[in-house]
Amino acid sequence: MISTNPEWDIRNIDLAKKPIYAFTISGQTPIYTTHDLTCENITGTLPGYRPWLKTPRGATQSVDILAGSSSIGELECEIIDQDGALRTLVGSTDLEGSTVTLAVGYPGIACSNFVVLHTYTLYKILPARNYTGWLFRARDNQLKLKRTVYQHPNNSYPLDESNPLILQGTPAEIFQALYFWALNRPVAELDRSILTALDAATEGLYNTVRPFWFQLTEAFEVKQFLESEIFKPAGLYPVIDNLGRLSLRSFRPPAAGPNPVFTFSADNMVMLPEIDRMPILNEIVFKLDDYGDGPQTQLVYIEATSLSTYGRAGQHVIQSKGLRTVLGAQAWCEELANRLFRRFAGTPAALRGGAPVLRIEAFLLTLPVWLGDYVYLSHPLMPDILTGAKGLTNRLFEVIDREPDFAAGRMRYRLLDTGLTGLQAAHNWAPSGRDFVIEQSEIY
Amino acid sequence: MPFPKLVYTSTTFPFTPTTLPFTRGPINFSVGWKSRLHDNLATSGLRERVVEAHDLLIAFTMPALRVADDLAHWTAFMSWALDGKQFDFYPDGSVGTYYHCVSDDDAFDLTRTAPGQYSATFKFRIVPDSQAPGGPDDILGAFYGLEWML
């Protein structure tokens, strides 16, 4: 969930609202807004502004949890050109590559309390149809991961057998090593608090096993490498936050248990949730120990109950050149396979199929909900496919697709059932923590 | 009752304001809000209304624009307004209250009503800036010369 503030929150939850959007191009004044800030009683020191912005759609982002990948969000803002002012700006200034932000506020709030929705990088500026305005297109910062690394960051010589790039550590450590050293990007572009939390001893993800060790001897594209070689084998996926920072989410819930940030209900959804199922996954193949001549080890995990119920379903192949048995990768693979089966194999029996996935449309007031968030869903009319009862209360889902439509004043989401509803976390730390119950708990 | 007037800026040097006084009065003078909004209706019946804006629109008819009289002035004005340019509309030409407007028309259609006399309808959109009125009643009050009541 994105950070907001009390003044903004009060307006946002109001059922009658007038959102004001502001589009900023770094290094440029004025900013462009959908409304006249003075007329809307925005307080504080107002920046120079022009109320020429059309309400944009917003940028969609979705994740593929099983592939460890995330789509690159694209934002398009159309600004009306008054008296050729933008034509002059676009024709005389290098704006491509600038950081742009889209923020939203409400009448009467302080200018400083506008909430940033997207922080993207401008890559294309085109005249709008009929030349009445200009389209500013921007993409999220994953674009910076699309670069190919062909030089060793330490000596700038090409990567080859005699000059390999060695990477070792947790996924978050390798991610940061590549981002800072190989791509030479600034620290501020990563959400380091989340990355640090993933590596924390209290999370227990890498206390006993750090299974990755890479020896890279040829050029590679960073995004593809991270997603296929590290995130997918580690059960992680990348997320861009509203400030444009790259972050990671683990499909394993936090040790202290998932923390639902919002409850979707019949009071804020504008349609009955559309229910679908993820494919059944009951066979997972890990290929590891690749020392340059192909994977030397293959581990096959089969979920017997699922197999006997559904027959052979999807086979999930995870192959990484960095997974090493000597570093404990086999234990790592077994742990990951267990977690994938628990969520996607169609067991326990009551599930009777793949993990439920919902498509919902909701009020604009839900816009702080972000990709990767845990949310509750309650609905009196929705069938509970686990029990056959009518109605669902506080079932725990994970947001895997977020599609704003600010122009229509509505939000769309895809929610993936976590299978964690009602389960207790393995532990609680102080002050009233109960004992460790890791052996019995499915959340740790 | 005083007639309204329009003021727009000449496109040629020295860019002096051009005033278009209404030689004869308008008829069917109407004002209203046209809202751009989106309603989200929840399953439970709760409604979220997302408002983009309440646009203030003015419409009126000039029933008697005469050749060799005021028609040339209106033609010059519409040449300006149809270009999308902004002008000032004074509901009561004898006082200082005015609003920034743009034309909402995409045509200047003249309908013959008598020899040498034509009528035309006009639709203005008030620019939502600090000069804009609070609502339709403000405009009508000014139009009917009731500013002292506002």
Please tell me the distance from the alpha carbon of residue B58 to that of residue A262, in angstroms, as a whole number: 44
For residue A419, the model assigns a pLDDT of 82
Q: Which of A51, A267, A408 is the closest to B46 by Cβ?
A: A267
User: Which DSSP symbol is given to A57?
Assistant: -
CA-nearest of A415, A401, A403 to A62 is A401
Q: What is the ipTM of this complex?
A: 0.80
pLDDT in tens, B48-75: 999 999 999 999 999 999 998 999 999 9
Strands A20-25 and B87-90: unpaired
Mean pLDDT value across residues B21-46: 93
Digit-coded pLDDT (tens) for A70-103 = 999 999 999 999 888 999 999 999 999 999 999 9
Query: Which residue from B42, B47, B50 is facing A269, i.e. has the nearest CB?
Result: B42
pLDDT of res. A426: 58
* pLDDT at res. B91: 93
**Whether A36 contacts chain B with CB within 8 A:** yes
**How high is the pLDDT of residue A351?**
79
Does B130 sit within 8 Å of A39, measured CB to CB? yes
pLDDT per residue over B65-101, tens digit each? 999 899 999 999 999 999 888 999 999 988 889 999 9
* Contact state of A15 with B43 under an 8 Å Cβ cutoff: no
Q: Does A342 touch chain B (CB under 8 A)?
A: no
Domain extents in chain A: 6-139, 145-250, 281-350
pLDDT at position A442: 55
Q: How far is B27 from chain A (nearest CA, A)?
A: 31
Contacts 24+ apart (CB under 8 A), B141-146: B142/B91, B142/B92, B142/B95, B142/B97, B143/B4, B143/B29, B143/B31, B143/B91, B143/B92, B144/B1, B145/B1, B145/B2, B145/B92, B145/B94
Taking the CA atoms of A269, A273, A274 and A275 in sequence, report the sign of the dihedral they define.
positive
Cα angle A249, A252, A254 (rounded to 5 degrees) comes to: 80
Q: What is the pLDDT of residue A433?
A: 52
- What's the pLDDT at B52? 92
Q: What is the pLDDT of residue A360?
A: 97
The H or E element containing residue A77 is: strand A74-80
Residue with the two structure tokens 């959340």: A443
Residue B13 has pLDDT above 80, yes or no: no
Q: Measure CB to CB from residue B49 to each of A15, A34, A269 and give the nearest one.
A: A15
Chain A interface test: which of B33, B40, B83 (most A C-beta within 10 Å): B40
Write out chain B residues lying below 8 Å of A267, CB-based: 42, 44, 46
Measure the CA–CA gap between A116 and A185, rounded to whole angstroms. Answer: 22
Distance of CA A277 to the CA centre of its chain: 21
pLDDT tens digit sequence for A5-41? 999 999 999 999 999 999 999 999 999 999 999 999 9
Compare CB distances from B44 to A18, A266, A271 and report the shortest one's residue: A266
Residue whose tokens read 């450590």: A173
- CB contacts under 8 A, A 362-381 vs B, are 362-365, 379, 381
pLDDT of residue A251: 78
Residue B31's pLDDT band, with cuts at 50, 70 and 90, is very high
Q: Nearest-5° angle of CA A436, CA A373, CA A168? A: 70
Give me the tens of pLDDT residue by residue for chain A, a chain 444 residues long: 999 999 999 999 999 999 999 999 999 999 999 999 999 999 999 999 999 999 999 999 999 999 999 999 999 999 999 888 999 999 999 999 999 999 999 999 999 999 999 999 999 999 998 899 999 999 999 988 999 999 999 999 999 999 999 999 999 999 999 999 999 999 999 999 999 998 888 777 787 788 999 999 999 999 999 999 999 999 999 999 999 999 999 878 887 788 899 999 999 999 999 999 999 999 999 999 998 889 999 999 999 999 998 888 878 999 999 999 999 999 889 988 988 888 888 887 777 888 999 999 999 999 999 999 999 999 999 998 888 899 999 999 999 999 999 999 999 999 999 888 777 665 555 455 555 555 455 555
Q: How far apart are CA A17 and CA A11, in angstroms?
A: 7
* Residue for token pair 């800036």: B129
pLDDT of residue B147: 59
Pick from B42, B51, B53: CB nearest A268: B42
Per-residue model confidence (pLDDT) at position A96:
94
Distance CA B52, CA A103 (A): 15
**Beta carbons of A17 and B48 less than 8 Å apart:** yes
pLDDT surpassing 70 at residue B12: no
Chain A contact set for B44 (CB, 8 A): 265-267
